[in-house]
Amino acid sequence: MSAFDPSPEQRAILDDPGPQLVLAGAGVGKTAVLTERIVRTIVEQQVAPEHILALTFTRAAAQEMRGRIAHELEARAPLANPNALWAGTYHSFAGDLLREFGVRIGVAPAARLLTEAGQWALLHRIFNDLPFAAVPMRHAPTAFRQILGFVSDAQNHLISPDAIDALVESLEAGATGPQIQALRGQWAELGLAYRAYQEAKLQAGALDFGDQIAYAVALLERHGDVAAEVRRRFPHVYVDEYQDTNSAQRRLLLNLIGAGTPRLFVIGDDDQAIFRFQGATVRNILGLPDESELSAAKPTVRTLVLNRRSVPPILDLANPIADKIRQRRPKDLRHFREGRAEIGAYVADTDRDEARWIAQRIQAMQREAPATGELAAWGSYAVLCRQREFADLAAWALAERSIPFRRAAPVPLLERWEIDEVRATLEVIGTPENDVALARVLAAARWRIGDADLWALARWRLARRVGAAPGADDESDRAFGDALLDALMSVDEIEGLAETGRARLTALRDELVAVSALARGCAVPELVAQVIERGGYARELAAGVHPDDGEALRNLARLQRLAAGFAEADGLPGLRAFLQFLSQADEAEDRVLGEGERPTPDAHAVWITTVHRAKGLEWPVVFIPGLAAGRFAPRGADDADAANAAPYPLKAARAGLPALAVDAFASDEAFERARAERQRELADLEEDDERRLFYVAVTRARERVHLSRAHWYGSRKTTAEASPFWDEALATGLCADLGTCTPSPANPNIASRPLVPAAPPANPLLAEAA
């Protein structure tokens, strides 16, 4: 028997075998209900697991679902094979479809999936052949981000290059003004880049993530026999987190269902739809009952509102926040647990003071907690930031008080010490004239070349260049020459080196000579592997006891995968091109490199994360900082016609966005009026997004919520007003006043000190294990 004891609202969902849409509020046991529903389908309805398809939003969620189902089936249906059930992401399922049936639309079964590095490599090859005039493309990192952003947005909305060409042609035929012509030129040029990129992928036998779903939809819509076969295999379809889906994922689901009588079960929460900035649309979940594909078997719409996570006052704070969301189905969370909550609000002078107050408050609560109580564990506390900048301050303030912490957002790959050392070595091999790269290698922990020996190298090179005596000892000579590598190669001739320094420099010279010889005859991935192997990084890190060593090993593996992905695109000029890619990725703030493995919350450390990453998690005590205007508050809509956005008229209808009809393009005046109205409506959607985000933050807490803001942020020259959400929270009467600082007459961040000290204290979590 299952240990799951359903509430009456959960039982009503589980007892109904028909199609359903379940709108499940925060903390109501959504995953437990979904898992139990699948298990009952197998156990009670005698449905073979291989006839069940379960789609979710992340690999981690799919893995958790499979684990729960396997555990339940082991006890209740031991003969059923849980591995036969298909549970995974939309992209994984689409990839499987293309491997089996993709040849029907010209996609080879062996088509490889491009990594982010592979995408940039492909663009690197075709970029110089793309004509840009209307769109400024002078800076490669910006250009690549814009093109790939445009392509991804188009793929998410199933917009083809042909559709863009047709739109551009229709605008060309009209009597349009300069502003419209500029936008038409932008779409024409980016549409051409989109087409060239798609053709380059086909020639290389490659796909990217956006292609997987777009091609799978095309496959199902063009070949009815394939769609019928897929529906025959999977008569039972389960969908999790449907509020996070985009237009392409919606079309994939509807094609899996068809117009029959499906056993469809969809669950999600429109109040937690926080990924519109990634292309998701809440219209998908709210409009599901009205989809024409479901006309023969409309799903019953039910809600789950019995919250098992938070005590009543926290729900009393959360419900009014959600009530003001415009696009939602009304539902108020009800409490399952009893108990009092501590909800407080604090106003600091500066953001740095705000971070210090949070650290002080956490330390005080932890010290006051009973030794065996839940709040004695550092992992009971979380700081949920709207912006990553405050996470840096929070980490510094916690470290200042020797409070261990972990961050959900990992340090960018190229800022990691182990990656920087390997990259610097590669740069010396690929660009021998790069003195800065060699200086980084010399200063690395592995070689530890001291200042005196560095100056000896520099003086020797400078003396050779200007014809001065090698023994000159002039302070003015203390500048590096044009090619420091020449001095390293001549280390035997240099006087004044310490014995240990000379030995290390000689070993470094010999290693660089050997690896440079290899570079002339091997591919980039092999060269990266050789640098890592000869440097002994893997051996040292595998034998280390520092908790950071495991992450460093994984990062080295990521670098090797990046090199392999970059090398997949044919016709590239090797190491220099890969180094250029890394340089461009560095300027792009590492976003093109992906995030790697995400850390998980730790019972022994305070958790610092953005609110987006906190979704699905919970803690006894939650701090929500930055509740100031312009930070955690509605900020108005972004430019919907930016260069990294697909043509708005084409995606508006697909995503349920405010319309911008083609007749608005009759003149610049008509266009400006229509665009202004659209931006006002988009601003309303943006306010809903921020409100949902605040709702998600509040509902992560079980017993305590602490809200905070500051008068002064960053280098602002004026004080920050309170966020509307701050005012709404205080208006409930639930928030205790934990203090309000008088604002300084001028911004102390500018007047006295940097926002974050240049050398913040070390994370005690890491120091303890060293």
CA gap 320, 340 in Å, rounded: 19
13 and 144 inside one domain: no
Contact 73, 66 (CB under 8 A): no
Whether 409 and 392 map to the same domain: the answer is yes
User: Which range among 11-15, 386-390, 420-424, 664-668 shows the weakest confidence by mean pLDDT?
Assistant: 664-668
Could you write out the three-class secondary structure of 259-328? CCCCEEEEEECHHHCCCHHHCCCCHHHHCHHHCHHHCCCCCEEEEECEECCCCHHHHHHHHHHHHCCCCC
- Structural domain includes residue 660: no
pLDDT tens sequence across 723-734: 999 999 999 999
Q: Is the same domain home to 242 and 143?
A: no
Token couple for 502? 């000379």
Residue 358 lies in a domain: yes
Output the six-digit token pair for 255: 């094609």
323 in any annotated domain: no
Query: Which residues are CB-contacts of 572 (< 8 A; sequence separation ≥ 6)?
Result: 121, 124, 125, 566, 578
Amino acid, single-letter form, for residue 67: G
Residue 753: give the domain boundaries.
342-413+599-633+705-769
Over range 94-116, report the average pLDDT.
92
> And the tokens for 194?
């989109």
- Residue 614: CATH number of its domain: 3.40.50.300
Is residue 465 in some structural domain?
yes
pLDDT greater than 60 at residue 129:
yes
The predicted structure's pLDDT at residue 614: 94
- In this predicted structure, the answer to whether residue 741 has a pLDDT above a threshold of 80 is yes
Q: What is the mean pLDDT of residues 328-352?
A: 96
Q: What count of other Cβ atoms lies within 10 Å of the Cβ of residue 432?
A: 17
Are residues 474 and 604 both part of a single domain? no
Would you say residue 481 has pLDDT above 80?
Answer: no
Please state the rounded mean pLDDT for residues 279-283. 94
Residue 480 pLDDT: 37
168 and 77, same structural domain?
no
Q: pLDDT digits over 574-610, tens only?
A: 888 788 778 766 655 444 455 455 667 788 999 999 9
Domain boundary among 568, 593, 618: 593
pLDDT tops 70 at residue 2: no
In a domain, 337, yes or no: no
Selected residue with higher pLDDT from 538 and 185 = 185
Tell me, yes or no, whether 134 and 156 share the same domain. Answer: yes
Query: What's the number of domains the chain is made of?
Result: 4
Burial class (CB in 10 A: 0-12, 13-18, 19+), 629: middle
Residue 53 belongs to what H/E stretch?
strand 52-56
Q: Residues 6 or more apart from 490 whose CB is under 8 A from it?
A: 460
Same domain assignment for residues 428 and 534: yes
User: How far does CA 635 lie from the centroid of its chain?
Assistant: 21
For residues 718 and 734, membership in a common domain is answered with yes
Look at 173-187, 406-420, 749-763 and tell me which has the smallest mean pLDDT: 749-763
31 and 177 part of one domain: no
pLDDT recorded at residue 759: 46
321 is a domain residue: no
Could you give the 3-state DSSP secondary structure of residue 385? strand
- Environment class of residue 543 by beta-carbon count within 10 Å: exposed (0-12), middle (13-18) or buried (19+)? exposed
Instruction: State yes or no: pLDDT of 260 exceeds 80.
Output: no
Least confident of 47-51, 221-225, 332-336, 485-489: 485-489
3-state secondary structure of 423: helix
Q: Are residues 49 and 72 in the same domain?
A: yes
Last-in-domain residue among 563, 593, 623: 593
How much is the pLDDT for 753?
54
Instruction: Determine the average pLDDT of the residues in 236-244.
Output: 96
Condensed to tens digits (0 to 9), the pLDDT of residues 548-575 reads: 677 788 888 888 888 887 776 555 558 8
Cβ-based neighbour number of residue 739 at 10 Å: 12
Contact 206, 113 (CB under 8 A): yes
**Amino acid letter, residue 585:** A
Q: Which of 81, 30, 125, 36 is nearest to 578 (CA)?
A: 125
**HEC profile of 69-120:** HHHHHHHHCCCCCHHHCEEEEHHHHHHHHHHHHHHHHCCCCCCEECCHHHHH
- The dihedral region occupied by 16, where left means phi > 0, alpha psi between -120 and 50, and beta the remainder, is beta
Is residue 697 scored above 50 in pLDDT?
yes
**Is 324 contained in some domain?**
no
Residue 231: pLDDT above 80?
yes
Same domain, 87 and 160: no
Question: Which CATH number do you get for residue 519?
Answer: 1.10.486.10
User: Which of the four pLDDT bands, split at 50, 70 and 90, describes residue 465?
Assistant: low
User: Do 218 and 80 sit in the same domain of this protein?
Assistant: yes
Q: Is 625 a domain residue?
A: yes
For residues 539 and 265, the model is more confident at: 265
pLDDT at 15 over 90: yes
* Distance from C-alpha of 381 to C-alpha of 401, rounded to nearest angstrom: 15
Domain boundary among 185, 204, 223: 204
